[in-house]
Amino acid sequence: MYQAPAVSARRYFLDGLAQGELRYQFDPVSGKAVFFPREVAPSGRLGGLEWRVSKGRGVIYSFTEVFRRDEMYNVVLVDLDEGFRVMSTIPGAQPRSLRIGQAVQAGFDVCAGEQRLVFEVLS
């Protein structure tokens, strides 16, 4: 029988953010990164995933800019160098300045009392 983990995959991921780490899982059977954190590997193995820490470097896969009243914010999909994709934002990016394929680096900030993943464009 499979022993339930002491800490859920989601909690371990969120604890990593609180410590300034972008944690992801790796499935050694498929040889691929796994994201969003889960208890069961895509290969179907219970407990068969390894935890790793991303270097946070990637490129913009897609983005949208949302204009609401007097504010603008963006939502980006970033392909990380380790082989997984995340959704986030690039705070402070000027309107119409983002481009698909731009290099970005992960960072962290606090929103509503929780540490969150954000990105900045590399020059």
How confident is the prediction along the chain (123 residues), in pLDDT tens digits per residue?
A: 556 667 899 999 999 999 999 999 999 988 999 999 998 888 777 778 999 999 999 999 999 999 988 889 999 999 999 999 999 999 999 999 999 999 999 999 998 888 999 999 998
Based on the fold, state whether residues 61 and 18 are members of the same structural domain: no
Based on the fold, state whether residues 65 and 43 are members of the same structural domain: no
pLDDT at residue 80, as a whole number: 98
In a domain, 4, yes or no: no
CB count within 10 Å of CB 62 equals 13
Q: Which domain holds residue 84?
A: 57-121
pTM of the model: 0.89
CB count within 10 Å of CB 91 equals 14
User: At 19, which amino acid appears?
Assistant: Q
Based on the fold, state whether residues 47 and 14 are members of the same structural domain: yes
In a domain, 105, yes or no: yes
In a domain, 47, yes or no: yes
Q: What total number of domains does the chain contain? A: 2
Based on the fold, state whether residues 63 and 115 are members of the same structural domain: yes
What gap in Å lies between CA 108 and CA 99, rounded to an integer? 21
Contact 82, 33 (CB under 8 A): yes
